[in-house]
Amino acid sequence: MSNQFLLYIIIAIGVVFLIMLIVFMYLRKKMQSSQYKQLQQLKRGTEKTKFSSDIIYQKLYLKYRKIPLIKRYLLKLRRRLEIINIDDEYLTRKQASQILTKGIIVVLPLTILIIFLTSSNILLLGILIIFEIFVLDSMIDGMVDKIDNNLLKQQINFFGEIRHAYHEFNMVEEAIYQTAQDNELEISRQAEKIYEILISDDPEMELEKYYDIAPNSYLKEFAGISYLTKEYGDRKQDGASLYLKNLNNITQEMQLEILKRDKLDYVFQSLAVISIVPMLFLEVIKNWSVSQFAFTKSFYMGKLGMIVQILIIVLTFICYTLTRKLKDNGSVNTKTQNRENPWQEKLYRKKPIKKFVDLFIPKEGTKEYRKVKELLKDAASPLKMSWLYINRITLFIVVLIASILIMIYLHKLQVDYIYTEPTSEYDLITTMGDSDEEAAMEITRIDNKFLDMFRGNLKTTQQDILKAMQRSAEYEGATEEKLQTDSERIYEKLQTINGEYLKWFEILLGLVFGIIGYAFPILLLFFQKKMRQMEMENEVMQFQTIILMLMRIERVNVEMILEWLERYANIFKEPISKCLNNYEAGAWEALEQLKEDISYQDMIRIVESLQAAVEKIPIVEAFDELDTERDYYQAKRKESNDRLIASKGLIGKGIGFAPMVCMFCGYLIAPLVIIGLTSMNTSFSTMSSM
């Protein structure tokens, strides 16, 4: 097997090298043509002399749009990159094509490797090929996150230059415009957009539109503070500009966020790969075990081995999904993605499907409806109620059908193994040579003749097989002892074969698996909710920074602070929105209701300070401790981030290594030990009887 695999690898490398050589010769010939030289002469002086990859990526983009499956990922990439590359179609296409090309370059060799390793196992091959879609999705997310992180790092330099420009011009919009001209492309786009907002006829309306498409909350804060400073003017605090001091606060927040993301990336950089790797080595372990320990062949080639393989694959899929959810640092603005017309919505528009799905969706106003609605909000899921239940029903149907098909396949696998297994007794230390294996296969061929004769007849007895053997040419002149032994063996095989059919309890088991699939989206939402709760302290500290920036600006009131908090809220968005809706009816009562809707003590303390600012004291005095204890809160924020990363890392390592542990323990060590002990016990029993 290893020599054959090596031969395949050499052939594949040779084919790739030959294709590259042909392409090189073709390009060389084309570049030497007179027409090409004439075009190059005309272009000289108008473009860079070095070869540009931009044109290739633009052409690849147009090609990808025509390929159905790849088009889905391309459009998904576009939606996320458009947020960063405002109104820059050329750059958006280039980055989308570049990221997708890198993903394909990695996935294509992996696909070839999987085909070589699992070509003998069609079921495992199909599952692994499907699983590659999730791997590609993860790679795309990672590369988009990298672009978003680069934008965040560019903002640090941008804000530093804004300080110098503001000292020079003393005008917010002019400082932004001047700095935008000398910065990197991604942040320049955002700065130019903010400048256009500030000089527009209705900056407040344009600002609200920008809040919906801003790639991160720090640019929202910067745009908002710049607008307030332009509108109401700057003021001095302790001899320094309040606007520049607020810029410094935003910069400190970004620095903490960059450190947090870098640490999360470091902790999780290999966990996703570790959770996937075991699947690639299932066939390798099986082939090695069978070649080294022949007594394990009945396990690995039979039904039980396939069941363990499937369980490890399912566990890998679950662990991989949870690892991705756990690592998610919120760097990509998912709320701005185009979620208006996904496949769930297209299905739900069809009347028969809509009526069927509505049977499962809880009625509005019921306790169950409120619970699911709250769960979607707490998990910050972009799914609508109808989309969630379409996902659940689809998973139920897919898992049920897949379970039944897999069970049918397992029965067929067991029958095929009985028909192809060499019929010979061998123990822990001996293996069959070529002559022994040929003799064993001859016995199997003879057994198969009688199995075909009686297969499907459930009333067949051992005596019927014995009579058929006595009449056959294969057993002419055979002793009674041999006839009795062989008939007993064939009868046992026949009983196994006749018992390999889809049974009622297996369909029931498929229904149980389907119900688990139906519950999986809800369980995933609970997991996301739990992960978001871990971010609660981090969000409250961000609220404190926002209040610190707003409280010294003139004309800022409690309602405006609540509007800002709602804009940047994630975990507490729903109760703050509810408070704002009730604010006109009574500020104190609305804030009191907000206190009842939340349970986190630090957030309750902020609400109490807002209540004091409504009726009793100015906002500056209500939050004076935020200014005086700024260093303490910064240190606490760092410590909170470290604890959060440590908690996520611990959970992530447990989840990420689970498939590998199960593979070694359940698929390698346990079969060797259990089957080895059983074989040894059988050998000792045989020796004792002799």
Position 394 scores a pLDDT of 93
Helix axes 185-198, 172-180, angle to 10 degrees: 150
What is the pLDDT at residue 338? 43
Residue 21 has pLDDT above 70, yes or no: no
Distance separating alpha carbons of residues 449 and 469, to the nearest angstrom: 10
Asked if the structure places residue 485 within a domain, the reply is yes
In a domain, 458, yes or no: yes
* 24 or 350: which leads in pLDDT: 350
Q: Cβ–Cβ contacts within 10 Å for residue 288, how many?
A: 16
Give the CB-side neighbour count of residue 133, counting CA atoms within 13 A.
Answer: 8
Q: Does the structure show a pLDDT above 70 at 19?
A: yes
> Do the domain assignments include residue 446?
yes
The mean pLDDT value for 594-604 works out to: 82
Say what the pLDDT of residue 428 is. Answer: 43
Task: List, for residues 196-224, the tens digit of each pLDDT value.
Answer: 988 988 888 888 888 888 888 888 888 88
Greater model confidence, 280 or 647? 647
Residue 463 has pLDDT above 50, yes or no: yes
Residues whose CB is less than 8 angstroms from the CB of residue 568 and which lie 6 or more positions away in sequence, other chains included: 217, 220, 221, 542, 543, 546
CA distance 678 to 297: 14
pLDDT at residue 336, rounded to an integer: 40
Instruction: Report the share of the chain in percent with pLDDT over 90.
Output: 4
What average pLDDT does range 82-105 have in this prediction?
82
pLDDT in tens, 436-456: 777 778 888 888 888 888 888
Least confident of 391-395, 439-443, 610-614: 439-443
CA torsion, points 402, 390, 519, 399, in degrees to nearest 10? 0
Given this model, what pLDDT does residue 13 score?
67
Mean pLDDT on 174-179 = 87
Mean of pLDDT values over 565-572: 83
Residue 335, pLDDT > 60, answer no
**Separation CA 290–CA 286 (nearest Å):** 6
Which of 31-45, 169-183, 339-353, 411-425 is the least confident region? Answer: 31-45
Per-residue pLDDT band at 4 (split at 50, 70, 90): low
Give Cβ neighbours of residue 1 (< 8 Å, ≥ 6 apart): 287, 291
Q: What is the pLDDT of residues 281-320, one digit of tens each?
A: 887 888 888 888 777 777 888 788 888 888 888 888 888 8
Compute the C-alpha angle 481/497/437, nearest 5°: 60
What confidence score (pLDDT) does residue 443 get?
82
Asked whether the predicted pLDDT for residue 35 surpasses 70, the reply is: no
**CA pair distance 173, 180, nearest whole angstrom:** 11
DSSP, residue by residue, 236-295: EETTEEHHHHHHHHHHHHHHHHHHHHHHHHHHHTTHHHHHHHHHHTHHHHHHHHHHH-GG
Tell me if 473 is assigned to some domain.
yes
Please give the Cα distance from 223 to 215 (Å, whole number): 12
The type of residue at 216 is N
Stretch 388-398: mean pLDDT, rounded?
Answer: 93
573 belongs to a structural domain? no
DSSP for 560-616 reads HHHHHHHHH-SSSHHHHHHHHHHTTT-HHHHHHHHHHH---HHHHHHHHHHHHHHHT
Q: For residue 43, what is the DSSP state? A: H
| Amino acid 516: pLDDT | 92
In the structure encoding, which two tokens stand for residue 597, read together? 């809707």
The whole-number pLDDT of residue 400 equals 93
Rg for the chain, CA atoms, rounded = 34
Task: Judge whether residue 566 has pLDDT over 90.
Answer: no
Q: In 3D, which of 334, 499, 352, 353 has the Cα closest to residue 415?
A: 499
Task: Tell me the residue range of the domain where 470 lies.
Answer: 428-498
For the segment 103-119, the average pLDDT, to the nearest whole number, is 78
Answer yes or no: is 442 within a domain.
Answer: yes
- Position 390 scores a pLDDT of 92
Q: Report the predicted TM-score, pTM, of the whole model to 2 decimal places.
A: 0.69
- pLDDT, position 46: 47
**pLDDT, average across residues 361-379:** 85
pLDDT of res. 14: 65
Q: What is the pLDDT of residue 397?
A: 94
Amino acid at 484: Q
Binning pLDDT at 50, 70 and 90, where does residue 401 land? very high
Share of the chain above pLDDT 70, in %: 85
Q: Write down the mean pLDDT value for the chain.
A: 80
Residue 272 has pLDDT above 50, yes or no: yes
Residue 329 pLDDT greater than 60, yes or no: no
What integer pLDDT is reported at residue 331 of this predicted model? 43
Q: Which two tokens stand for residue 453?
A: 């004769």
Interatomic CA distance for residues 509 and 505, integer angstroms: 6
Instruction: Look at the chain and report how many structural domains it folds into.
Output: 1
Start-to-end CA distance of the chain, whole Å, equals 38
Cα three-residue angle 337-259-82, rounded to 5 degrees: 20
- Helix (H/G/I), strand (E/B), else coil: 44: strand
For the cut 90, the answer to whether the pLDDT of residue 688 exceeds it is: no
Q: Which residue has the higher pLDDT, 634 or 349?
A: 349
pLDDT for position 424: 65
Residue 441 is assigned to a structural domain of this protein: yes
pLDDT of residue 389: 92
pLDDT at 84 over 80: no
Find all residues with CB under 8 Å of 195, minimum gap 6, and list them. Answer: 173, 176, 177, 180
Q: Tell me: pLDDT of 426 over 70.
A: no
pLDDT for the residue numbered 398: 92
**pLDDT score for 366:** 87
- Rounded to whole angstroms, how far apart are CA atoms 223 and 314? 46
Of 67-81, 504-518, 671-685, the range with the lowest mean pLDDT is: 671-685
State yes or no: pLDDT of 550 exceeds 90.
no
**650 assigned to some structural domain:** no
pLDDT at 589 over 70: yes
